[in-house]
Amino acid sequence: MSYSARRGFTSGSMRPTGAARQQEMQQKIQEMQAAMTAAQDAVEVQEFTASVGGGVVEAKVNGKKEVLGVTIKPEAVDPEDVEMLQDLVVSAVNEALRQASEAMENSLNTATGGMDLGGLSF
């Protein structure tokens, strides 16, 4: 241990103490949380559209995974084959939701620098 008029008693090392390292880590965590919140907010306001069946059925969702609308062209409506129309609607909605999920995942990966957060889902 040595004494310096400027630093007082030291162990000869200028490394941060445990408390200083903990404070630095907490600061980094807070910055990452803020970046993740901003990234999540940005994706939630986006709209994602998917069309299937050659464009006869279209679904629109937002980043909050809420269905905003479904558009069905008249030529898709066949009273003899309602099941196919139902399948097209489900397919379009699922694809739009997949796009929203992928955008959220990519945005959060960017905000966290690709760090694995233990399976947290948003």
Specify if 106 maps to a domain.
yes
For residue 20, give its domain range.
Answer: 14-111
Specify if 2 maps to a domain.
no
The burial class, CB within 10 Å (0-12 / 13-18 / 19+), for 44 is: middle
Specify if 103 maps to a domain.
yes
Specify if 41 maps to a domain.
yes
Specify if 83 maps to a domain.
yes
Contact 97, 61 (CB under 8 A): yes
Query: How does pLDDT run across 79-117, given as a tens digit for each residue?
Result: 999 999 999 999 999 999 999 999 999 998 888 877 766
Specify if 5 maps to a domain.
no
Query: How does pLDDT run across 3-23, given as a tens digit for each residue?
Result: 656 666 666 556 667 888 999
Proportion of the chain in helix, strand, coil states, percent, rounded to 5: 50, 20, 30
Total number of domains in the chain: 1
Specify if 9 maps to a domain.
no
pLDDT score at 112: 80
**CATH code, domain carrying 42:** 3.30.1310.10
Specify if 80 maps to a domain.
yes
Say how far apart CA 97 and CA 35 lie, in whole Å: 23
